[in-house]
Each structure stands twice: as C-alpha cells, then as structure tokens.
Amino acid sequence: MEVTIGNDSELIKLAQGIRYQVFTREQQIPAELDLDGLDEESFHALVTENGEPMATARLTVKEDGSSIMARVAVSEVYRGMGVASKVVQAIIQYAQNIGVNFIEIHAHSYLRSYYERFGFEFIKEVEVVGEHQLIEMRHQIVRP
C-alpha cells in the first residue's frame, strides 16, 4: 500500500471518486454535501495499491494552526484490511509535519472508539447528516 498526500487535480479527482461511491451511493448522503468547495484548498491522502485507489481522507488547515480531517472513505472491497487506519495515521503524521496544532473531526458516532485509538478525544454530538449522527472529536498534536 502506498499513501500519497497532496492537492493536485488528479489526486482530488481520484479521492472524489472514492467518496462518491462510499458517501453518495452507499450511505445515501447527497453529493452536494460532500462537494463543499474545500477540496482545492485542502490536502488529500490517497491510499493505492498497484495504482488502484483504495481509500482517501482530506485535511483542511486553517490559519490559526488548527485543521479538520474529513471525508475519510474506504472503497467497500478494501474494508477490514487496515486501510482506514493507514490513511488516518498518514493524515496525523502529515499534520504534525506541517506544524498543525490539532485535528478536529466530525465522525459517525459509532466510530468514536475507533478514533480514540488514534488519540482523538470526544467533544460533543453535532449535526445529523443523511440520517447519520456525527460527533466532534479532537486530536492534540504533541511536538517532541
């Protein structure tokens, strides 16, 4: 598995393809909620194997040193293989490397314990998107 992080148009296109399959087709979330206009100004992690896109996540960095990780998605055929963990770890490492202070996420509530394994802490319940209850979590970046 290889992880690429960047924001060129080809990488964004591949990431959006995975997100469309997972969010729009599987989870019935309207495409306009996914395509929020932040893709071009964000960093995208793309996990591939033999050139085949497997998973993605997006990191949007704010001027104050905070960031938001969103759009974590794994193609159905690659679930259960540790691909999601690889993309989340890559985003955390990338955020640390570029000087981000913390990462916020709005995750599905059933994923709370999953993200806690990476050091995210539960903050509060937030909005419901496409019938999915989301929770706010935060990961404080610790500098050595």
Instruction: Report how far apart, in Å, the C-alpha atoms of 54 and of each of 17, 25, 45, 46, 128 are.
Output: 10, 16, 11, 7, 26
CATH number of 2-100: 3.40.630.30
> Which amino acid is residue 60, in one-letter code?
T
Per the CB < 8 A criterion, the answer to whether 119 and 85 are in contact is: no
> Which amino acid is residue 101, in one-letter code?
N
- What six digits make up the tokens of 122? 């539960």
**113 burial level (CB within 10 Å; 0-12, 13-18, 19+):** exposed
pLDDT tens, per residue, the chain with 144 residues: 999 999 999 999 999 999 999 999 998 888 888 889 999 999 999 999 999 999 999 999 999 999 999 999 999 999 999 999 999 999 999 999 999 999 999 998 999 999 999 999 999 999 887 777 899 999 999 876
